């Protein structure tokens, strides 16, 4: 008379074991989805922070045609009688949670860009903004380099003016002589040519 009871207990044990395994699989899947969602959010924060720093470097360069020596120079620029602030604060690297950005040095000195130290593979591989097209199919976040290059340097090699650009010291007709700012040029803290203000992912 004890055989049916033992058999029923065995089935109950197997049912509980299957339920535990199923619950473990569901929890694992949920953790992966949560982790992927969090990584996507950090990617958006990285794009915003990197573009903001690049825009600030461009504005600093437009003000004096030289790159900042440190990122701190973007917080307060004392090259003019009235200090200029290109950034309100230094953004953290959302992939490492630190403020120690990796720096891209400019050939003539100073800092022309930043990038994350993270070796993690990005989730986002395509559909970047035009200014970030170089990030397509990169293998790590460390390859997302937020660099500002002046328009003349992007179009022609140093020392050789690009087609349509006057040689150094020889202003084109209608252009002001060296030392006189062109009409409509950005003031201190304003955007440099060819650099777009990044959109705030938080809508602010």
pLDDT of residue 30: 63
Report the C-alpha gap between 69 and 80 in whole angstroms: 16
The confidence score (pLDDT) of residue 18 equals 72
Q: Which tokens sit at 25?
A: 């699989």
pTM given for the model = 0.62
pLDDT at residue 32, rounded to an integer: 65
Q: What tens digit of pLDDT does each residue of 122-163 get?
A: 999 999 999 999 999 999 999 999 999 997 555 444 444 433
Consecutive 10-residue runs of the chain (204 residues): their mean pLDDT? Answer: 59 71 68 78 96 97 94 94 94 92 96 96 94 95 96 51 42 47 47 52 51
Maximum CA extent, the chain: 110
pLDDT at 17: 73
Q: Quick one: pLDDT at residue 99?
A: 83
pLDDT of residue 111: 97
- Residue 163 is predicted with a pLDDT of 38
Could you identify the residue written with the tokens 């230094």? 90
Query: How far is the C-alpha of 172 from the C-alpha of 2, rounded, in Å?
Result: 104
């Amino acid at each position: 008379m004890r055989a049916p009871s033992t058999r029923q207990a065995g089935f109950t044990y197997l049912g509980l074991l299957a339920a535990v395994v199923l619950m473990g699989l569901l929890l694992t899947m949920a953790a992966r989805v949560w982790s992927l969602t969090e990584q996507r959010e950090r990617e958006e924060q990285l794009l915003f922070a990197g573009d903001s720093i690049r825009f600030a470097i461009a504005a600093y360069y437009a003000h004096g045609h030289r790159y900042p020596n440190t990122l701190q120079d973007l917080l307060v620029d004392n090259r003019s009688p009235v200090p200029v602030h290109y950034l309100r604060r230094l953004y953290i690297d959302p992939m490492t949670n630190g403020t120690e950005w990796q720096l891209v040095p400019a050939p003539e000195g100073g800092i022309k860009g930043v990038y994350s130290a993270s070796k993690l593979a990005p989730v986002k591989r395509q559909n970047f903004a035009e200014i970030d097209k170089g990030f397509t199919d990169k293998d790590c976040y460390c390859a997302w380099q937020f660099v500002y290059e002046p328009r003349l340097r992007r179009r022609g090699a140093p020392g050789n003016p690009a087609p349509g650009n006057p040689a150094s010291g020889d202003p084109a007709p209608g252009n002001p002589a060296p030392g006189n700012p062109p009409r409509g040029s950005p003031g201190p803290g304003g955007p440099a040519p060819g650099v777009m203000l990044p959109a705030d992912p938080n809508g602010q």
